[in-house]
Amino acid sequence: MLHLVLYEPEIPQNTGNMMRTCMATGSVLHLIKPLGFSLDEQHLKRAGMDYVKELEYHVYENWDEFVSQHPSENYYYMTRYGKKAPSQFDFTACEGDIYLVLGKESTGIPKEILSQHLDRCMRLPMVANARSLNLSNCAAIIIYEVLRQLDYPGLSGVEVIKGEDWLEK
């Protein structure tokens, strides 16, 4: 199972977008407090649309509570300080659940956490003078990189709602 972990997210629209991505990919979302918004805000609902009803998500008081409930060797951290691209990790070698951790929009994941896991820190390649990409874009990129490596388990490769042959009609 694939998990997206948001460490103290601040912007409701980003979290709403990530909720939609998680629902569409069958990923579980984990939100670590404090949150920069309430979960019933209009922006969050609008960005997450009606997908939120079908999303599995959990909220934790802090990082320690989350880690104590989800012990794993498969934590990967998205940070501008990472030195390897997501494609340089072999997610097919992971046994058990995979946890992708992204930090808050303003400051990212604390150095205290990252410095203990330097071999699991990744960075999306970009031009040298770009500080970062939008957090929800980063989440979508890394989720789909993991799913690509795993050959998109359980996901449909064709349109189901309007029908697989909708374009041909």
Query: Which residue is associated with the tokens 């934790």?
Result: 60
- Give the tokens for residue 138: 């980063």
103 labelled as ligand-binding?
Answer: yes
Q: Is the pLDDT of residue 5 over 90?
A: yes
Average pLDDT, integer, range 150-154: 96
Q: State what percent of residues in the chain have pLDDT above 70.
A: 94
pLDDT on residue 43: 60
Residues 6+ apart with CB under 8 A from 70: 3, 30, 97, 99
Q: Is the pLDDT of residue 16 over 90?
A: no
pLDDT on residue 58: 96
Q: How far apart are CA 23 and CA 145, in angstroms?
A: 16
pLDDT in tens, 71-88: 989 999 999 999 999 999
CATH superfamily of 2-168: SPOUT methyltransferase, trefoil knot domain (3.40.1280.10)
- Give the tokens for residue 142: 């890394």
- Give the tokens for residue 19: 């909720």
pLDDT on residue 54: 85
- Give the tokens for residue 50: 């009606």
Burial call 93-102: b when 16+ CB within 10 Å, e when fewer: ebeeebbbbb
78 labelled as ligand-binding?
Answer: yes
Domain extents in the chain? 2-168
pLDDT in tens, 36-85: 988 876 666 665 556 777 889 999 999 999 999 999 899 999 999 999 99
